[in-house]
Structures are given as structure tokens and as C-alpha cells.
Amino acid sequence: MSSLYSPPTTTTTISGATELSHHHVYPKTSQLSISRSLGRRPSPKISCKVAKNDDQNPKTTHNEGKANMFDRRNMLIGIGGLYGAATTLGGAPSTLAAPVQTPNPNACGPADLPSNAQGLNCCPPRTTSIVDFVLPTPPSTLRVRQPAHLVDDEFKEKFTRAMSLMKALPSTDPRSFSQQANVHCAYCNGGYSQVGFPNMDLQVHNSWLFYPFHRWYLYFYERILGNLIDDPTFAIPFWNWDTQAGMTMPTMYTDPNSPLYDPIRDRGHQPPKVLDLNYDGIDSNDLPDQSMIANNLTVMYRQMVNNSRTARLFLGAPYRAGSFPNPGGGSVENIPHGTVHVWTGDRNRQNFENMGNFYSAARDPLFYAHHANMDRMWSVWKTLGGNRRDYTDSDWLNASFIFYDENAQAIRVRVRDCVDTTKLGYNYQDVDLPWINAQPTASSTSRVRSVTSSTPQTAHAMESTSKSNKVVNFPKPLNKSLRTNVTRPKKSRSKRDKDRDEEVLVIEVDVKKHDEYVKFDVYINDEDVVPSKKMQVKAEYAGSFVNVPHRHTHGNNKGNHDLETTFRVGLTQLIEQLGADDDEGVTVNLVLRAGSKGNVVIKSMKIEIA
Ligand code: C2O
């Protein structure tokens, strides 16, 4: 198997920069075949020099005193060695799956950008050496990430100093703030092709790569900041938007004189404006603050408790080498992740800059606080029990990315090394989870139904006739709302059955223009065709699909640039809460809350037992 890896063609010192060769980046199809074995740890098979006394590399020799995580036994991998191993599309990728490969920073190309951002170069500086990440043993000093609204003045001083230093670095330095922001643009707007699949964009959203990619991204961002102020315990704060006191923009970020400030945000959403986790792109539906807070907690409950009972529901769908991007994002990635992006960005700008569009989102320092809370949700999720466990699929564990570290060294990281934050040397301050019991109360209609009917079956039959529900033929555009009956593969499931297998509503979605904010809400067994939002989140509310505006060609060989994805909603507990366990089917109601007419097509809808 080692023959799959061509020996490095370039020795790997910085001084060898001019020797960098590119001819291995996209090997010819005839020269390589894809093999399942690529899913295993490739690095030990790459013959390369051990960077012991790496005095040829001035950027890494001064590390020793700085609690550097990358011990000197790390291998430096030549570009030829790493990318010579590229797989290529020789057969059906679905049968010969392999992890998504490390993108080559030297092969980064123009991103797909909105017209007002043409010419922006999102690519990182070129590199001649890439170090393979190795977890430190024992783990380094623990960095503890705190809620942004609770930090003390000493922390604020440190953080603002670190950010000023980062912003002062020359823009050619991969550690500079502008380069850090561009990382997001390159990985999310088609800067990279999938290695071995030149016609396929690499995309880190809407799949199981979402959480690990962003975890690594913040990991290096945090280490760079800590390094700039010489503090190995420095930890970035998190925007604790899932608790009442955290439901405004953290004030530390809203002082116009602070390096944490970004003028390109929604001016109407400055503190004390309460954040709307279920944001539709307009403020006219806003509820009084206390109701908004209660609704936010209910949204969190839906997403973290009901809608995240499996890895696929929470982390997102599998995305392997050569497969189309966007197989489906996890529940929390849709909402509130997407809604918080768009709520923070300026809706009066063409593309909701900065936070409301992927190419510009990471230019706002709040991005990293938002994502720290997303990252925290991943840690919290694993403590909630049941089947909430990470994927064990090797194509997930071995998927890899490249980032520059605090020494401006390119590091290749794999998903497997980031699943435990304490091994990475950080964790989150323990705070309350006020949403954990915030179950929405049943709406009046479902209460009436269960009180007046003798059996749930009768109720369903009655409802069906009175509402003349029908089964819709797909595909069908979602212009305002869409209501259909969906048959369940199995009714009256036992508790054991329900604990083991999740009942999932699977909706195939085609978004024509994905540079538009799109959001639709899903309701189960709701009496209303368009449920009002001028009230508490209802028991019938099941979740939301969100598209944060962005552009990239989706690597679709059909030459079609739609965002085609699959949206999943967990139904087991919801159906139980609605008293519909014994029904043959459910009525599904999709309501378009943001997005233009004709932009969203529902391709299919079904219920699966997963
Ligand atoms: Cu990479 Cu919040 O998105």
C-alpha cells in the first residue's frame, strides 16, 4: 500500500521554497487509483525527513520555551508526498469512498464572490512545508473559554491587546486578522477544489465537516492570539446566546473604539436589542423581550433535545472524497447558527455583510465568539445522552484540513484529533443550560384534539377529512407554504424501538440562488396553513432550514449551480409530544419565512426510521 504514496519530490525546508513543484497537485487519472486504504493514517507511510534540530527553519526553532504543541518529532511532509497521494475519480466514488483530502494551499484559486467583492483574494500564502499535527502528550495547559458577557476587565484588556496585535500584522502574514478572515472565504466560497476532483468544490458547511472544520479554525485563531500576548492560557470567549443574559451582542464587541468592533453589522441590533434565534430577516415580527427570550430557549430545546438525537441529525450528513458538497447540515447548523449569522450582519447591505455572508463573516470578530458557542454546543451535545455520539466512520475521522499556526507554519490536521477538546488543551466554563427543559407547551389545537377524541387514530382521521389534506406531488416550489401528508413507515413504536432508532423527516431541497437568505419553518400536524409567529413557539414547530447567503459552484457535473441538499428533522419526541404516536402519518407544513418566490423547490419528502 505504501506504493500509493509517491516519495516527496521536494525536501521540506523553508529555504527550499523555490523548489516547490506543483505537478503532483492533480495527478492524472491514469496514474493513480483510489483505494479504501487511503482512509487509514497515511502519514507514517510517507518517507520524509524528521525535523529534529530544525535549524533550517527559523520560524519553528524558537518554539521550545512556548509550550508548543507540535513536538520536534513531527514530520515535515513535502508537498509532493502529501499531494502525490491524491485520489482521483476512477470509478464510482460512492463505492470507493475515502475521506475528503487536505486541500493544497498552493492550489487555492479565485473564490466565487458577490459582484461587490470581485477581486478579493481569499487564498493563504503559499507554503513549502506542511507539518502533520500530533496531539501533545501530556496535554498542554488548559485554556478555559468563558462566556463573553461575563469576562472581567483584565480579560478584556488582554483580549483587545491580542486583537490589536493581530490586526497590526502585515496582511501577507497568515496569522494576520485579514488572513484569518480569508480562511473562511477560501474554504466556503470555492477557493479549493477537492484534491483529486478538480471539478468539485470543497465545502465545509452543510455536512459532517462543519463542526470539526470550525473547531480547528478557532483552535489556531486562539493560539495565534495567545502567542501574540505571550499567554499560553489565553482562551477566546464564547457568545453565550443560549442563555438569557447572553441574548444580545456582547457589549465588549460593540464599543466603536475597540478592535473587537465591526461597523458592518445591523445597527438596529446593537444592545440592548434581544437576539432572535428564529430570525426571519425582518424585525416586524418581534415579540416583547420576555417572549423572545422564552422563544429562543424553546428553539434551543427543539434543536438540542428533540432534533439532535443522532450524529447525522446533529453533526450533519456524510461527505466523502468525490461526493457532491452540501449533503445536509445538522440541526443547530441550520438554526440558530444560520439565523445568528444573518441577524448580526447588516440587512441593508446587498449580501448581509459581514456576518450574514460566508465570504465576509469572519471579518467580524464576533464570528469567532459565535462559533465558539457552536463549538461548545458540540461538547454539550455529547453529554446529553442517548445516541448522541460522534461518528466512528473513518472517512469522517480521517478527513483533513490545513491551517497556519501561531508560528506561521502550515499544519495538516485531521478530524480524529479534535473530537476531545481537553486533548487539544481547552474546554468551556460550565454554565447553565436553561433550555434543557424548555419544551414548548402544546398549542390549543393539539390539546383540543387529544381531549375530544377517544383514540388518536380517530383524531387523525377527523383532522384529515376536515382539512382535506392531500399528498402533494413533488418536486414542488415552496413559494409561501406547502402542506402535505406523509406516511410513517411504522406507527405505535415501543419505547425501546424509539430509543434505538430515530424517526426522521427527510426533505430534499433545491435552492436556486444560494446567495439569498432562505429560511423555511417545518410544522407537524398544525391546523394553520401559515402558523403565526406572533406568539410562543408552538408544540407543532419542528425545526427550520436556513441558507446563509454565499456563493460557490457546487461542483455539480451537470453544470447546474443550485444548492441541492437534504434537510432532516427528528420526529420521535415531537410526535410523542403531539400525541400522534399511533397515527398512520403526519401532516407536514412548510412555511417560507425568508427567500424569494421560485427560489426554493422541494424535491421530495419522506419519513425514515434511522
Ligand atoms: Cu463557516 Cu458560521 O460558518
Gyration radius of the chain's alpha carbons: 24
The model scores a pTM over 0.85: no
Task: Give, as one character, the DSSP assignment of residue 126.
Answer: P
Examine the residue annotation and report whether 552 is marked as an active-site residue of this protein: no
**pLDDT given for residue 74 in this prediction:** 37
Residue predicted with more confidence, 46 or 467: 467
The answer, yes or no, to whether residue 58 has pLDDT greater than 60, is no
Asked if 371 is an active-site residue, the reply is: yes
Residue 156, classed as helix, strand or coil, is helix
541-547 and 518-524 strand pairing: antiparallel
Q: How confident is the model at residue 448 (pLDDT cuts 50, 70, 90)?
A: very low
Strand ranges for 299-442 from DSSP E: 400-404, 410-414, 426-428
| Average pLDDT, integer, range 323-339 | 95
Taking the CA of residue 204 as reference, the ligand 1 atom at the shortest distance is 1
Per annotation, catalytic residue among 24, 149, 269, 341: 341
> What is the helix (H) or strand (E) element at residue 258, kind and residue range?
none
CA 359 to ligand 1 center in whole angstroms: 10
Same-fold call for 11-437 versus 459-609? no
Concerning whether 234 is annotated as a catalytic residue, the answer is: no
What pLDDT, on the 0 to 100 scale, is given for residue 387?
Answer: 94
Q: What is residue 393's predicted lDDT score, i.e. its pLDDT?
A: 97
CB count in 10 Å sphere of residue 79: 27
CATH architecture of 459-609: Sandwich (2.60)
Cα–ligand 1 centroid distance for 282 (angstroms): 21
CA of 546 to the centre of ligand 1 (A): 12
Q: Please determine, for residue 148, whether its predicted confidence score (pLDDT) is greater than 60.
A: yes
**CB neighbours of residue 172 within 10 Å:** 9
Q: Is the pLDDT of residue 170 over 50?
A: yes
What percent helix, strand, coil does the chain show, rounded to 5? 30, 15, 50
Cell of 546: 436556513
The residue-averaged pLDDT of 193-215 equals 91
- 214 noted as active-site residue: yes
Residue found under cell 457568545:
239
3-state secondary structure of 343: helix
Which residue owns the Cα nearest ligand 1 atom 3?
Answer: 358
Binned at pLDDT 50, 70 and 90, residue 38 comes out as: very low
| Domain boundaries of the chain, sorted by first residue | 11-437, 459-609
**Among 149, 214, 269, 370, which one carries the catalytic annotation?**
214
Alpha helices by DSSP H, listed for 249-397, are 289-300, 311-315, 331-332, 339-344, 366-381, 394-397
**Average pLDDT along the chain:** 81
For residue 284, the model assigns a pLDDT of 79
In eight-state DSSP terms, residue 564 is: E
Architecture of the 11-437 domain = Orthogonal Bundle (1.10)
Is residue 46's pLDDT more than 60? Answer: no
CA 45 to chain centre: 31
From the CA of 371, give the closest atom in ligand 1. Answer: 2
**How far apart, in whole angstroms, are the C-alpha atoms of residue 590 and residue 587?**
10
Mean pLDDT across the stretch 326-337?
Answer: 97
d(CA 263, CA 179): 19
- Residue range 388-414, pLDDT digits in tens: 999 999 999 999 999 999 999 999 999
What is the pLDDT, as a whole number, of residue 599?
A: 94
**pLDDT band of 553, cuts 50, 70, 90:** low
Q: Closest ligand 1 atom, CA of 184? A: 1
3-state secondary structure of 537: coil
In this structure, the dihedral spanned by the alpha carbons of residues 245, 247, 252 and 256, taken in order and rounded to 10 degrees, is -140
Closest CA to 545 of 249, 385, 326: 326
Binding residues for Cu cation: 184, 205, 214, 337, 341, 371
Please report the pLDDT score of residue 92 as a whole number.
39
- Grouping H, G, I as helix, E, B as strand and the rest as coil, residue 600 is strand
Reduce the DSSP state of residue 365 to 3 states and report it.
coil
Whether 149 is catalytic is no
By the 8 A CB rule, do 32 and 88 touch?
yes
How far away, in angstroms, is 204 Cα from ligand 1 center? 8
Q: Report the candidate in 579, 577, 540, 539 with the shortest Cα–Cα distance to residue 457.
A: 579
- Which three cell numbers mark 468? 382535506
Residue 36 CA to ligand 1 centre (angstroms): 30
Q: Which entry of 149, 269, 371, 550 is annotated as an active-site residue? A: 371
At 453 the pLDDT is 38
Task: Provide the grid cell at 35.
Answer: 483505494
Q: Which residue has the higher pLDDT, 308 or 2?
A: 308
Looking at residue 285, its pLDDT comes to: 73
Say if residues 323 and 562 touch (Cβ distance below 8 Å): no
* Number of neighbouring beta carbons within 10 Å of residue 239: 27
**Residues with Cβ within 6 A of ligand 1?**
184, 188, 205, 214, 337, 341, 361, 371
Q: How large is the average pLDDT for residues 462-486?
A: 78
Residue 460 annotated in active site: no
**What percentage of residues in the chain have a pLDDT greater than 70?**
78
Give the contacts of 474 (CB within 8 A, at least 6 positions apart): 602, 603, 604, 605
